[in-house]
């Protein structure tokens, strides 16, 4: 595993589940940038990306790069390992971050440089990317560090 912008790799095992790339999510999971899907016809943003604009119905969709700063909107600390592979990872915090550039966009992640007990609602964070590779190729997972 290699990381961008941080030396910390997060709470989950190195071989934990990765996102499956598909028709609309490849930029999100491979660009290493905060590219939010944006309608080329009407300018509406939507996340997660879809195959059609929910506002005007266009299928001509592009992206807007937003700033990396965000705020923890909610979180949970998982204490029960729902899979045996996570037995050594618990307790770990999962956060829901709103982007300061557009608080209507919320993103799930982990705060790489904080203990579970330090994570709280209102915590300022900034995006970073963690490169992960398996037999299907590489992805850039958006993650968070405190700021």
Partner 1 sequence: MEGRAVVVGVGESPYYKRGGASESEFQLACIAIRNAVADAGLTMADVDGFASYMDRNEPVRLSNALGTGDLHFTGQTFGGGGNGTAAAVALADMAVSAGYAECVVVFRSLAQGQFHRYGQAGKSRRAGGSAAYTSPYGMLSAAQICAMQTMRWMHDHGVTQDSLAEVALACFAHAQRNPRAVRYGSPLTREEYHASRWIAEPLHLYDCCPENDGAAAIVVTTAERARDCAQPGVPIVAAAQGLAHRGGGAAFTEDGFPTAHYDLVARQLWNRAGVKPADVPVAQFYENFTGPVLMAIAEMGFCEPGEINDFVADGGIQLGGRLPINTSGGNLAEAYIHGFGCVVEAVRQMRGTSTCQVDGADLSLVVAGPGFAPGSAVLFGRDS
Binding site for partner 1 (CB under 8 A): 11-12, 16-20, 22, 25, 29, 47-48, 54, 73-80, 82-83, 85-86, 89, 91-92, 94, 96, 104-110, 121, 134-136, 141
CA pair distance 98, 30, nearest whole angstrom: 20
**Cβ-based nearer residue to partner 1, 59 or 108:** 108
Rounded least distance, CB 59 to partner 1, Å: 18
3-state secondary structure of 82: coil
**75, 144 contact by CB (below 8 A):** no
Rounded least distance, CB 73 to partner 1, Å: 6
Residues 6+ apart with CB under 8 A from 84: none
**Cβ-based nearer residue to partner 1, 68 or 112:** 112
Rounded least distance, CB 124 to partner 1, Å: 16
CA pair distance 94, 11, nearest whole angstrom: 10
**Cβ-based nearer residue to partner 1, 68 or 92:** 92
Rounded least distance, CB 125 to partner 1, Å: 13
3-state secondary structure of 49: coil
**Cβ-based nearer residue to partner 1, 44 or 69:** 44
Rounded least distance, CB 22 to partner 1, Å: 6
Under DSSP, the state recorded for 41 is T
3-state secondary structure of 30: helix
**Cβ-based nearer residue to partner 1, 69 or 96:** 96
Phi, psi of 76 (to 5 degrees): -140, 155
């Amino acid at each position: 595993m290699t990381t961008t912008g941080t030396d910390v790799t997060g709470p989950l095992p190195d071989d934990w589940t990765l996102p499956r790339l598909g028709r609309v999510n490849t930029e999100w999971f491979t660009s290493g940038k905060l590219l939010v899907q944006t309608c080329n016809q009407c300018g509406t943003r939507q996340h997660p990306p879809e195959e059609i604009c929910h506002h005007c119905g266009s299928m001509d969709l592009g992206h807007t790069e937003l700033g990396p700063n965000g705020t923890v909107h909610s979180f949970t600390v998982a204490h029960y390992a729902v899979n045996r592979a996570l037995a050594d990872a618990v307790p770990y915090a999962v956060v829901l971050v709103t982007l300061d550039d557009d608080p209507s966009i919320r993103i799930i992640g982990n705060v790489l440089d904080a203990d579970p007990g330090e994570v709280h609602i209102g915590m300022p964070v900034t995006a970073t990317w963690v490169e992960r590779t398996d037999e299907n190729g590489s992805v850039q997972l958006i993650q968070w560090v405190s700021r």
